Structure 1
Amino acid sequence: MATDASPKPAPPRLNVPPAMAGGLRLDPAVASPARLLLDVPKTPSPSKTTYSDRFIPCRSSSRLHNFALLDRDRASPSSTTDDAPYSRLLRAEIFGPDSPSPAPSSPNTNLFRFKTDHPSPKSPFAASAAATAGHYDCTAGSAESSTPRKPPRKVPKTPHKVLDAPSLQDDFYLNLVDWSSQNTLAVGLGNCVYLWSASNCKVTKLCDLGPRDSVCAVHWTREGSYLAIGTSLGDVQIWDSSRCKRIRNMGGHQTRTGVLAWSSRILSSGSRDKNILQHDIRVPSDYISKFSGHRSEVCGLKWSHDDRELASGGNDNQLLVWNQRSQQPILRLTEHTAAVKAIAWSPHQQGLLASGGGTADRCIRFWNTVCNLAWCKNVNELVSTHGYSQNQIMVWKYPSMSKVATLTGHTLRVLYLAMSPDGQTIVTGAGDETLRFWNIFPSMKTQAPVRDIGLWSFSRSHIR
């Protein structure tokens, strides 16, 4: 049987009207550049398939819709009508006759307009890789990477209460504000001490030292029933706050007593005479021991939470650590370059001590004057108060030391800091003669932002 070997004419590639085909010069015998690109001969390999650097083997798996390549030919409304036939033909040539037509939309000038694509993970490592690429939280408590990251905690930027405190001294070396465990605030103003109850906002005048003396330090016992007062004459007085009665007066210092610190049974006092005295109110003597290690005024004192170590800071830029069994410091830190007043022991990690220096001390954590430090007992964060030039209060997350919030409002350096017994509110005092209350820490149980209640609504009143 004879076979017709003559080749059959190739059908036209595009089914278009003759007039349009002539206008676009679509000659079936001449291959278009796009077709020549797609008709590149391929050499099959039994083991693997090698692709050219310009060849896309499978467009369905390339997710081109993420980059809006299918609708990148949208133009302005004036040129859409003239270019529409050419655009359809070009799309059919490149993407095939079954390519979807773009929906009408506003003009897009972005070449690669990335769209978010969230495919379901095909392996248990996909979610972990995505979480690691987005953010790594070194303080997360959960070991599962798929757990959504908690949003940052919002800290109110303004105080919810302001108290006028006339005669509150602008002296870096004094400690004139302390908050008791029974929710009572003690403030030294001039030669008087006033008590402010946070429960009912009642103000009580505790004592008046007279015209020849003044208050230099106040500090509550841990039970919150007795208040120690340091005076400019070098005395240390113990007052019963419930009866407004002085129960003890102890001497020993040659000049003003500017800092006090209670342990469970011992009261320590630091003075401008460079000495630290240990007082025991159960014995009749004024003091039971003396620590001498500073070369200038002692302005910072804090007992550790287990009562084993006492940290002291002085105007000689030294931070010393003592214990009750030695008359010499067991640790001497001299890295500070200014007076060390801000001292705080961590309630979350035993033996961890934070300290901050004065105006000339360029601390790697804070980089300006550090006046006070306090650890939060609810979360592993600490708050610092600062002086010139912004007079700000700053909240830090430990151990990353990332800044949580910066609070401003005082017009002079923030020299005094105390924390409420529930660990949620702090009070700051400054030389601008104001006490400002800030709700900055969450509660221990709920870990939720603190809400203001009617009693704590924003107001301005007087401490006396």
Structure 2
Amino acid sequence: MSGLKNSPFGKRLRASHQETDDEAPRRNRPRINPIFGVAPTTRSTPTSTPSLDSRPNTAESSGGPESPAELPRIARDYGDRFVPSRDNGDMRTSYHLRDEGGPSTPSKNRIIPSESDALKEQANAIFNSILHTEVTPPSPRRSLSPTRPVTIASGAAAAPPSTPTRRRLFAYSSPSASNPGTPTRRLDTPTDEAYSMSPVRAESRKLLESPRRQLRSVCKTPYRVLDAPELADDFYLNLVDWSSTNVLGVGLGSCVYLWTAHNAAVSKLCDLAEHNDTISSVSWVQKLTRSNKGTTLAVGTLAGRLHIYDANTLQLQRTYQQAHSQRIGALAWNAHVLSSGSRDRSVHHRDVREPTTRPFKRCTGHRQEVCGLKWSGDGGPQSANLASGGNDNKVCIWDLRGSKRASGLARGANSIGSAGEDSGPGDAPLWKFHEHTAAVKALAWDPHVSGVLATGGGTQDKHIRFWNVINGTMLNELDTGSQVCNLIWSLTSHELVSTHGFSSTTAQNQICIWKYPTLNMVASLTGHTNRVLYLAMSPDGETIVTGAGDETLRFWNAFPKKEKNESQKESRLDYGRLIR
């Protein structure tokens, strides 16, 4: 040790300690030593030094009784070697390893990651399993040491242990199942780990070599981006819709533009600037009939007017001047019936073939603005149902065929029945759901399962809920952690697309694809810098277009192509095809 004290390193060390002791009374903060960290001080007031893993203590900052008392510092004489102390280390807690008890229960809250898809999630799950197997392998089962039974008499002390006599110290026997204390590992087995050439264990090799489910890869970048100047950043408007004839209609300010997908031609349909009006909603007729070729476009305005245009001739067919007393934010077609939802809290139904301008039916089930409308279009027994979402956080299911839910029926656990207190006679909703805690704009009917509706809530709700409108029950719910702006079902797979806006996490303005009914995320698409308020799907079901307040329209290849054999399938019960 004398050589160390007289060495240049020892002299520098003593000089640093002396300088620290001299300057300690003059300074309020500890001196940082470049080699050993914080130097000990001689002041009576303890000084806390944050470490790399330190976290703010709420009780300590508030001066509460839960503040831990700080222990006095002990001066240590450090040498020239650093030996880490592993007394307080715990590998399981330090690396957040899983317990041996089994998989943990997943949380109900689903936070949308900034960049994620099914392939990454599968790879991360495999990596975590292999890391868990390699770092903390299961302990080998060890047999307990044989113990001699000791009989303790009541009120008497236990007998002291005694050395066994007339017994061999070592016992030699062949491994057998009857003797569990005998080791069963045989080194002459060719599959033993002692002869393995792989750097990982047998469990990890089995996991890596096992077949995995083939997942669909989704392109994370849009294949086309269009500028959309004056595209309003308003949650309550619906300004983008894609027709069955492959024409995209977009409302920009006071104008409506048509973009033809197969040749990228752009045409201007109308301009309401001369009427001092602004576009608030657009909707195409989706049904193709002999009298309606799918080229009719309905346009709603902020002044409450409703215009019907023919996209082929770019001509105005008719106008409803006083369709509503306030803006029309939602439109939905059912064959020739046009339903419109307004800020005046009512839903009007009109047959565009009739010459009268008055609606043949009114529905007043909402107490605030109606911001979402969607007809069920599966062609089944529920095709006459209309779903409406409002700013009053309610979802109403309407049946215009005349069947109304009796007020005396028992109400479901997840829904409340027809509300006649705020509706006129004969127009009570079939079901009224109250579970959402924010405005409901996103509505989508499942095209694969009849009677299933998906709804999405706003900023204060962040949930996607699935309903069975046949019995009025909630099937499932998903907390996305972000404002749900739009929902749409895939036509080629049982998947759901949701677009998002404001979020409580770093992930915002996402476009997410979910697998139903497992609700696992297939992909998360990013690119918009504002809330993704508008969503539409191409007629073939492969492409979606999204619009946002950043005044851009982005086209994504979201879904696989429809199989050729699927379109050629014919039912054996369809005897009409045999008629010539």
* Common fold by TM > 0.5: yes
Alignment pair present for 1:209 and 2:209:
no
| Structure 1 partner of 2:238 | 175
Q: 2:304 aligns with which of 234, 244, 249?
A: 234
Determine if contact 1:258/1:299 at 8 Å carries over to the other structure.
yes
Deviation at 1:57, TM superposition (A): 7.0
- Indicate yes or no: 2:290 matched with 1:219: no
Point out 4+ residue stretches in structure 1 off by more than 6 angstroms: 115-118
Residue type at the aligned position of 2:258: L
Match of 2:356 in 1: 285
* Aligned-partner Cα distance in 2 for 1:115–1:372: 44
Question: Structure 1 residue 61: deviation in Å?
Answer: 4.3
| 1:371 partner amino acid | C
In structure 1, give the amino acid aligned to 2:178: T
In the TM superposition, 1:426-445 aligns within 5 A as 426-445=544-563
**What are the within-5 Å matches in structure 2 for residues 251-262 of structure 1?**
251-262=322-333
Matched residue, 1:154:
217
Is 1:313 matched up with 2:385?
A: no
| Unpaired runs of at least 5, structure 1 | 1-38, 72-104, 119-129, 135-147, 448-464
- 1:385 and 1:162 mapped to 2: Cα distance? 17
Q: Is the 8 A contact 1:336 1:357 kept in 2?
A: yes
Q: String of CA shifts for 1:18-44, please: whole Å, max 9, x gaps.
A: xxxxxxxxxxxxxxxxxxxxx943389
**2:455 and 2:487 in contact (8 A); partners too:** yes
Correspondence 1:244 to 2:372: no
- The match for 1:395 is 513
The alpha-carbon distance between structure 1 residues 117 and 396, as it changes in their structure 2 partners (threshold 3 A), is closer
Structure 2 Cα separation of the partners of residues 435 and 162 of structure 1: 6
Q: Are the structure 2 counterparts of residues 207 and 370 from structure 1 closer, same or farther at C-alpha, using a change threshold of 3 Å?
A: same
User: What is the distance in 2 between the residues matched to 1:117 and 1:274?
Assistant: 62
Change (3 A) 1:429 1:117: closer
Q: Is residue 2:307 matched to residue 1:269? A: no
Distance 1:244 1:282 in 2: 19
**Retained in 1: the 8 A contact 2:456–2:462?**
no
Matching residue of 2:50: none
Residue 9 (structure 2) aligns with: none
TM-superposed deviation, 1:62: 7.2
Letter in 1 for 2:494: N
Provide, for residues 201-255 of structure 1, a one-character-per-residue CA deviation record: whole Å limited to 9, x for no partner: 0000001112411100000001331000001111111100000001011233101
Q: 1: distance between equivalents of 2:174 and 2:279?
A: 95
Q: Name the Cα RMSD after superposition.
A: 2.6
Q: How far apart are the structure 2 equivalents of 1:70 and 1:336? A: 61
Residues of 2 paired with 1:431 and 1:259: CA distance?
Answer: 18
CA distance in 2, matches of 1:362, 1:183: 32
Give distance in 1, aligned partners of 2:218 and 2:451: 29
CA distance in 1, matches of 2:270, 2:459: 33
Equivalences for 1:6-405 in 2 at 5 Å? 40-42=171-173, 50-56=178-184, 58-61=186-189, 63-64=191-192, 67=193, 69-70=194-195, 113-114=201-202, 149-211=212-274, 212-222=276-286, 223=288, 224-250=294-320, 251-286=322-357, 287-305=359-377, 306=379, 307-324=383-400, 325=402, 326-363=426-463, 364-389=478-503, 390-405=508-523
Q: Which one-letter code corresponds to 2:285 in the other structure? A: T
- Correspondence for 1:406 among 514, 524, 530: 524
Q: Is contact 1:271-1:297 (8 Å) kept?
A: yes
Aligned to 1:453: none
How far the C-alpha of 1:374 sits from its partner, in A, is 0.1
2:421: which partner in 1? Answer: none
Seq. identity, %: 50
Report how far residue 417 of structure 1 moved: 0.2
**Mean Cα displacement is larger for which, 173-182 or 381-390?**
381-390
3-state SS of paired residue (1:369): strand
Give the superposition deviation at 1:446: 6.5
Matches of 1:360 and 1:440, distance apart in 2: 28
Q: Which has the larger displacement, 398-407 or 280-289?
A: 280-289
Counterparts of 1:255 and 1:296 in 2: how far apart (Å)?
12
In structure 1, what is the Cα distance between the partners aligned to 2:232 and 2:399? 32
Question: What are the ranges of 5 or more consecutive residues in structure 2 without an aligned counterpart?
Answer: 1-169, 289-293, 403-425, 464-477, 566-580
Deviations 1:70-101 (A, max 9, x none): 48xxxxxxxxxxxxxxxxxxxxxxxxxxxxxx
- Over 3 Å counting, the alpha-carbon distance change for 1:319 and 1:113 in structure 2 is closer
- For the structure 1 residues 293 and 43, does the alpha-carbon distance in structure 2 shift closer, same or farther, using more than 3 Å as the test? closer
Cα shift at 1:395: 0.3
Deviation at 1:54, TM superposition (A): 3.6
How far, CA to CA, are the matches of 2:392 and 2:278 in structure 1? 24
Q: 1:40 to 1:337 in 2, by over 3 A?
A: same
Distance 1:362 1:117 in 2: 41
Conserved? CA contact 1:229–1:237, under 8 Å: yes
**Counterpart of 2:97?**
none
Evaluate the alpha carbon distance shift between residue 117 and residue 303 of structure 1 in structure 2; reply closer, same or farther with a 3 A threshold. Answer: closer
Residues 156-181 of structure 1, C-alpha deviations (whole Å, 9 max, x = no match): 10111000000000000000000011
Q: From the superposition, tell whether residues 354 and 116 of structure 1 become closer, same or farther in structure 2 (CA, over 3 Å).
A: closer
Shift in Å, 1:282: 1.5
